Amino acid sequence: MSTSDPLAGTAAARHPEPRRSLLVCALVGAAVMAGVDEIVFHQLLHWHHFYDRSTSGVALVSDGLLHTAELLALVAGLFLFADLRRRGALVPGHAWSGAFLGAGVFQVFDGIVDHKVLRVHQVRYGVDVTPYDWAWNLAGLALLVIGGVLLARARRAGGRRPS
């Protein structure tokens, strides 16, 4: 936390906001996961296809909306995070838990809704996709579990802290 904070010492400052810390970092976590998906699987590995011929119109629109929302979420999330830090309202435990939960929710959503329900594109082409789908969704689940454990720990720590 910066010591040159103009609000330091005022009554409004240094009031921790665990809920907001969690939500803001969930936004950042989801957006970062989406960025990893775009950079690693689309650009570096070329596993995902830019356009899958079986993509329906609805899937195309949902993909466009989600892709744009990811970009805006990354920008908005980082500035909301900076605002939390500026006010000294960031609670690190809840923030980390939020980041993992957000990343996990995105991964599972991408794996089930985008890949399987809407069929925007598959994890990989020209191979049996089943193990890839399992790995994809279990990785998402693992992120969710880590986020859940961190949240439970953060809540316990918050409860112990004298307020």
Partner 1 sequence: MTTGPVAAPLTLACVCAAVVYTVGAARLRRRGDAWPWRRDCVFAAGCAAVVWGLAGPVPGGPFTAHTGRHLLTAMAGPALLAVARPLTLVLRLLPPGRPRRGLLRVAHSPAAGGLLFPPVAAAVDVGGLWLLYRTDLWEAAHRHALLGGLLELHMLLAGLLFAMAVCRLDPVRGRCGLPLRAVTLLAAGAAHAVLAKSLYLSGPPGTAFAAADLRAGAQLMYYGGDAVEVFLALVLAVQWYAATGRRRARQAARDAVPAGAR
**Interacting residues toward partner 1 by CB under 8 A:** 6-7, 10-13, 50-51, 53, 55, 60-61, 63-65, 67-69, 71-72, 74-76, 78-79, 82-83, 86-87
Query: Are the C-beta atoms of residues 36 and 93 closer than 8 Å to each other?
Result: no
Identify whether the C-beta of residue 81 lies closer than 8 Å to the C-beta of residue 28. yes
DSSP string, 107-134: HHHIIIIIIIIS-S--S-SSS--HHHHH
The token duo for 90 is: 């960031």
Least distance CB 1 / partner 1 (angstroms): 15
- Spell out the SS3 assignment of 21-49: HHHHHHHHHHHHHHHHHHHHHHHHCCCCC
Nearest-approach distance from CB 134 to partner 1, in angstroms: 28
Nearer to partner 1 (CB atom), residue 61 or residue 157: 61
Nearer to partner 1, 12 or 130 (CB): 12
C-beta of 46 vs 153, nearer to partner 1: 46
Q: Least distance from C-beta 99 to partner 1, angstroms?
A: 19
| Min separation Cβ 14 and partner 1, Å | 12
Q: How far is the CB of 69 from partner 1 (least distance, A)?
A: 6
- Residue written as token pair 């830090």: 85
Q: What CA–CA distance (Å, rounded) separates 20 from 42?
A: 32
When the beta carbons of 71 and 157 are compared against partner 1, the nearer one is 71
Which C-beta is closer to partner 1: that of 53 or that of 160?
53
